[in-house]
């Protein structure tokens, strides 16, 4: 208010001569006063810490000046400055209250789960890709899809997928790595992992792979379209006026083209199944799953709460959601794991111990569901990677009704609680003085951390059902490739640069060189 007083004093001579200027300034002053320290549609929160908020603009200027490549580090610095709880309001989005505390995260996502939802705005923004799938679903729709998924991701399924899907697709990766080694090629390991996880879940979802691993340079149109849509959707998430801007920009037109391509692929597969008489049980899988049902078949045989078959659109949305989740998360986790093993300042003992464990456990043999349980160091390396490089590095939920968090923080209806697993993984108050160091040994012979402390697989009722799927798939891949190859980064001094997205892709991929091991034999 001091600034306004000084401004009025400076303009006093002009105000005495121009009544219109007086009225204009009076209106402007009223607007500024009304929205002082907050964005329109939000409540001023003098009780919470946070960066400076401008009248009307709130924290928009602060957030807009942060480069996308530094956003997660910015959130970490905010935690260092203000503590685990701080706030900012953004026009067109609302008020975000950061809750980077294990206790608060567990309270909002588990203890008081039903009071925090994805929200209508999230559903509308993401509908172009995720439709009405489980990613953005709330309430009864989420409950229905969750129950169905729980019947799909079972121990029996994991055991069968290990032998029939993970090993088969991972051996295709081995063949491509062998080609790269023999021809002296540099390969983008992140791209290769995206191909591996998409093909693997393609078999689980549709009964057939997408053909991503047919060759090193093969890029199926479906996979390319998904990558482009994810990038465009990230832009939309940071655009408060996206409904307007997309009418007059190329982004809106691109969305339409890509959405049509992705949806048409799914619809074509569904129609193919219907033509095969799957509803009458005459369809038989035509792939490595043998007589077992794939995800699509299970969903198509499901009915809604009233006993009616699911619509093609609903089936499409459900299968696409699971496929996208299975592809990006595991692929990026494996990429960041390799980065931490191969970078210039990596502890060589971590990699040596990983290879020694694989040689000891498998002795050149093929992994099975039972043997993956003996990869204790491999699993510790994966968990430590997910602690520092969580594949969903930030998230938020909308408060349905006024609430008081365990630390006394008030959250009002319509406000958002947000948390960053990236920032929390780097907090010494949570993980100790070595929080920012890659130390897999912290996961051995220690008490399992709470979901709030290690939330990389989410927390509470929405915890990732595919957690074991991802772990087993990763362990199989690690075993098969480290049995046969050694790796080095093309640029071991590169930083941990990331692309701002829903997940955590490494910026510009991870270029590696591959060599065949000469000291072992495989069976």
SS3 303: strand
SS3 91: coil
- Asked whether 209 and 195 are in contact (CB, 8 A), the reply is no
Structure tokens at 153: 């991701």
Q: Specify binding-site residues for heme.
A: 464
Please give the angle made by the CA atoms of 214, 336 and 324, to the nearest 5 degrees.
55
The percent helix, strand, coil of the chain (3-state, each to 5) is 55, 10, 35
Instruction: Show Cβ contacts of residue 11 under 8 Å, excluding neighbours closer than 6 positions.
Output: 21, 25
- Asked whether 502 and 233 are in contact (CB, 8 A), the reply is yes
Pairwise CA distance, residues 340 & 425, whole Å:
15
CB-based burial of residue 261 (10 Å sphere; 0-12 exposed, 13-18 middle, 19+ buried)?
A: middle
- How many Cβ atoms are within 10 Å of 17's Cβ, its own excluded? 8
Q: What are phi and psi of 11, to 5 degrees?
A: -95, 5
Pairwise CA distance, residues 90 & 107, whole Å:
25
Q: Residue with structure tokens 């033509």?
A: 275
Q: Specify binding-site residues.
A: 464
How many Å is the Cα radius of gyration of the chain?
26
Structure tokens at 513: 């060189």
Q: Residue with structure tokens 């340079």?
A: 217
Of 500, 414, 420, 396, give the one whose Cα is nearest residue 39: 414
- Asked whether 300 and 315 are in contact (CB, 8 A), the reply is yes
Pairwise CA distance, residues 479 & 359, whole Å:
8
Q: Strand 395-399 and strand 485-489: pairing? A: unpaired
SS3 487: strand
Pairwise CA distance, residues 273 & 267, whole Å:
10
Q: Strand 94-99 and strand 416-419: pairing? A: parallel
């Amino acid at each position: 208010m001091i600034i306004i007083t000084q401004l009025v004093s400076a303009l006093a001579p002009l105000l005495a001569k121009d009544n219109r200027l007086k009225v204009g300034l009076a209106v402007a002053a009223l607007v500024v006063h009304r929205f002082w320290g907050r964005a329109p549609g939000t409540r001023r929160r003098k009780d919470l810490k946070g960066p400076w908020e401008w009248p009307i603009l709130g924290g928009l200027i602060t957030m807009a000046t942060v480069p996308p490549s530094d956003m997660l580090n910015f959130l970490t610095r905010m935690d260092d400055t203000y503590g685990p709880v701080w706030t900012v309001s953004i026009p067109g989005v609302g008020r975000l209250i950061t809750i980077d505390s294990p206790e608060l995260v567990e309270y909002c996502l588990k203890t008081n789960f039903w009071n925090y939802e994805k929200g209508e705005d999230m559903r509308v923004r993401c509908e172009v890709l995720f439709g009405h799938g489980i990613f953005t679903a709330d309430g009864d729709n989420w409950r229905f899809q969750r129950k169905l998924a729980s019947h799909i991701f079972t121990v029996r399924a994991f055991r069968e997928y290990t032998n029939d899907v993970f090993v088969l697709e991972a051996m295709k990766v081995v063949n491509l790595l062998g080609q790269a080694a023999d021809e002296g090629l540099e390969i983008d390991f992140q791209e290769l992992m995206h191909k591996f996880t998409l093909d693997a879940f393609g078999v689980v979802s549709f009964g057939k792979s997408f053909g991503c691993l047919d060759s090193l340079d093969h890029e199926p149109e479906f996979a390319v379209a998904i990558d482009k849509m994810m990038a465009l959707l990230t832009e939309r998430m940071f655009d408060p006026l996206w409904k307007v801007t997309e009418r007059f920009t190329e982004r809106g037109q691109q969305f339409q083209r890509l959405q049509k391509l992705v949806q048409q692929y799914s619809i074509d597969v569904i129609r193919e199944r219907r033509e095969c008489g799957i509803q009458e049980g005459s369809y038989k899988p035509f792939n490595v799953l043998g007589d077992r049902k794939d995800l699509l078949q299970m969903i198509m045989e499901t009915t809604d709460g009233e006993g009616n078959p699911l619509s093609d659109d609903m089936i499409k949305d459900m299968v696409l959601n699971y496929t996208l989740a299975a592809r990006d998360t595991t692929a990026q986790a494996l990429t960041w794991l390799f980065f931490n093993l191969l970078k210039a300042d990596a502890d060589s003992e971590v990699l040596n111990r990983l290879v020694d464990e694989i040689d000891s456990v498998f002795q050149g043999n093929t992994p099975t569901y039972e043997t993956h349980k003996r990869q204790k160091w491999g699993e510790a390396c994966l968990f430590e990677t997910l602690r520092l490089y969580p594949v969903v590095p930030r998230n938020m939920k909308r408060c349905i009704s006024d609430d008081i968090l365990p630390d006394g923080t008030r959250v009002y209806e319509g406000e958002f609680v947000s948390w960053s697993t990236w920032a929390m993984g780097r907090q010494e108050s949570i993980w100790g003085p070595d929080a920012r160091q890659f130390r897999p040994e912290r996961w051995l012979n220690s008490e399992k951390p709470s979901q709030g402390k290690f939330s990389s697989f989410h927390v509470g009722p929405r915890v990732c059902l595919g957690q074991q799927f991802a772990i087993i798939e990763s362990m199989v891949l690690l075993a098969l490739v480290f049995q046969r190859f050694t790796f080095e980064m093309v640029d071991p001094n590169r930083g941990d640069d990331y692309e701002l997205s829903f997940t955590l892709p490494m910026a510009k991929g991870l270029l590696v060189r591959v060599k065949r091991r000469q000291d072992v034999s495989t069976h």
